[in-house]
Amino acid sequence: MPGDLISRPLIEIAADLREKRVAARELAEAAIGRHERFGERLHAYSFWAPEQARLIAQAADAAFAAGVSVGPLQGLPVSIKDLFAASGYPCFAGSSRRLPADAWERDGPLVATLRRQLGVIMGKTHMVEFAFGGTGHNSHWGAPHNPWDASAHRAPGGSSSGAGVSLLEGSALLAFGSDTAGSVRIPASMTGTVGLKVTLGRWSTEGVVPLSPTFDTPGLLARSVADVAYGFAALDTAGIEPVGFVAREGTRDISGVRIGVGDPFLWRDCDAGITETVQEAVDALVQAGAIAREFTLPEAEAVYAVFLEGGLSAGELRSFLDQELPGWLGQLDPVIAPAVRNAETLSATDYLARIARLRALARTAAPRFDAVDVIASPTLCLTPPLMSEVADADSHLRVNRRIVRNTVAVNYLGLCAITMPVGRDRAGMPVGLQLTAPAGAEERLLAIGLAVERVLGTAAERLGTPPLLAS
């Protein structure tokens, strides 16, 4: 719906709210209307909260009327993944049972920041149970529908499976997700949205149900790099002013940016149309003045081998369940249950050895970024699979291993990354370009991402309207 309240850039909507050209309640009603139109079809939310949203929007309007601005997110509709603890909202973390309210229905730091700014929480989005998987499969709740395929139920990505879908639905302008091996970037890539994975420790994970505390990071999804940059600046504790940051960095061009390309591991064995689409995007950036440099990151394949051995997530999730949620193991989604149960066979010696290997690889990878500003690669090497293809544990494991191939290294090597849509593959599904940067380089990464978006165009300009939303 080009031209409506929801479809415009976030920075414009925020300015209109402050200038009282638009009311927060009006914006909330527009978001609610989009959910009423598409929600049953898309299944993005595990807990939809229109009445709470209306109350927050009213409070935001009252503050605006009094001349009070409490933060950049004031009055803006936001969805949160169902592993963020939030007062007044049940937390299931994709499980069949509600988690204990005393621990998981109290605002954590990131949600508290959103609340202080009177961001309008629209509801909690579906996820893979305990964030353990990248397809979006959930036997308890069902998976959201990827709106880029109107004829078949394709994976929306996971584990933040409802996040990208909520953005396309128009019921949210920002979406909170989490990323342990790609759980923000995977759904962003599969749904044609933008996803930011921040450096480990940049944002607190307090109040976020853990999968693997060694690698868990909160993250953001939005409809454009500019929207993600605005949301990042609004939430970050570094005190970045969002409007100034987006306006300043959004005017810089791509000239002179050194882009590392060609790593054989990250670019090989992609489904039809993926490599070609990402390469065309890189070529366009070079034509606009970027510098492409042949680049290899051998540590990416090395850490993926650790993931294939079992990584750390299953063992750390098993520890959390045993200590905090006894009795939960027997009711886990059958697709993820075998891996979590088998984690008890991992010895402490092997667990510590894996951590030591990953830390050593992270140390050797870090200086490679002296030669480039970012690494470019396909975000995913595969077309979003049909949900029927990941319905059992064996097929889910096989596909999930392919899904995280290009994303897990960012987590395991302690880096930050962004994915943005650059076209469609041969199946007509979105293709993501992943830009990876050193630890702590989010501002520089976002500045480059904004320059890339200026050259290539936004998701809406590059992809058009998802077929499931066209009718």
Domains of the chain, residue spans: 10-469
Which CATH architecture fits 10-469?
Alpha-Beta Complex (3.90)
Give pLDDT, residue 464: 94
| AA identity, residue 374 | V
Q: Which stretches of the chain score pLDDT less than 70?
A: 1-3, 471
Q: For residue range 95-151, what is the model confidence (pLDDT) as tens digits?
A: 999 999 999 999 999 999 999 999 999 999 999 999 999 999 999 999 999 999 999
Catalytic site residues?
81, 159, 183
Give pLDDT, residue 3: 53
Return the structure tokens found at 390.
């990941």
Give pLDDT, residue 252: 83
| AA identity, residue 1 | M
Give pLDDT, residue 4: 83
Q: For residue range 265-281, what is the model confidence (pLDDT) as tens digits?
A: 999 999 999 999 999 99
Q: Would the pTM of this model clear 0.95, i.e. be above it?
A: yes
Give pLDDT, residue 289: 98
Give pLDDT, residue 2: 39
